[in-house]
Amino acid sequence: MSDSNIVSLRNANIYQGKNLILNNVHFEVGKGEFVYMIGKTGSGKSSLLKTLYGDLYLKEGDGVVAGFDLKKLTWKTVPLLRRNLGIVFQDFRLLTDRNVYSNLEFVLTATGWKDKVLMKEKIDNVLTKVGLRDKGFKMPYEMSGGEQQRVDIARALLNNPKLIIADEPTGNLDPDTTDEIMQLLFNICRDYHTAFIMATHDYGIIQKFPARVVRIEHSGIKEITPAAM
């Protein structure tokens, strides 16, 4: 794996159980690079993303993410890999019985943070990055969809990730809020040199916020230009 890459897959076969989903995958993502991943429902996008964050194990081929060899992951090392990653979901997955601050504090505690002063500084810092510094007291149900997605992004930033994997992060948002979230993601990519892999079905986003695009199809992955979508 090149020092400039945060993701490197070579001759990788991606399985769901015993079923081969993607064959002979070659895929690299550089540090601070933004990459869109497109493809039909069921094409294998989610399987590939799950392999990158250790939810599916890589059985065949070579793969390295954030310095971790995917073929050597164990139940003990998967959490260490994930501390170097951030994951943003379409459905937010916030704890509904806790306010924003407690949602973020829960993640820090689960990843080994103990110093309450440092935890508060980190939470204030990520909430400021996403424009929610004064919203820590809010419950998720008191917030708009866009605000909840910002909390989800703040949560993904807590451990200074080298890579953020975003799975349809704008799928439940209106067009104006989608633009705000996309601008936020691009700002984070630019300002903090964080790599992004974003799965999306919304080609309009790609036209409006252009970046590298890969397509999952025919059990493989290939680079495309926006004109070929």
Distance between CA 159 and CA 104 in Å, rounded?
A: 11
| Secondary structure in 3-state letters for 192-207 | HCCEEEEECCCHHHHH
pLDDT at 1: 45
Distance between CA 89 and CA 223 in Å, rounded?
A: 24
Distance between CA 219 and CA 134 in Å, rounded?
A: 46
- Give the least confident one: 158-167, 210-219, 220-229: 220-229
- Tens digit of each residue's pLDDT (9 = 90 or more) over 103-127: 999 999 988 889 999 999 999 999 9
Closest CA to 160 of 92, 99, 113, 200: 113
Q: Which helix (H) or strand (E) holds 184?
A: helix 175-192
Alpha helices in 15-168 (DSSP H): 45-52, 78-82, 100-110, 116-129, 145-157
The dihedral region occupied by 213, where left means phi > 0, alpha psi between -120 and 50, and beta the remainder, is beta
pLDDT at 2: 53
Q: What is the mean pLDDT of the chain?
A: 91
pLDDT at 41: 85
- Tens digit of each residue's pLDDT (9 = 90 or more) over 131-143: 999 999 999 999 9
pTM, whole model, 2 decimals? 0.90
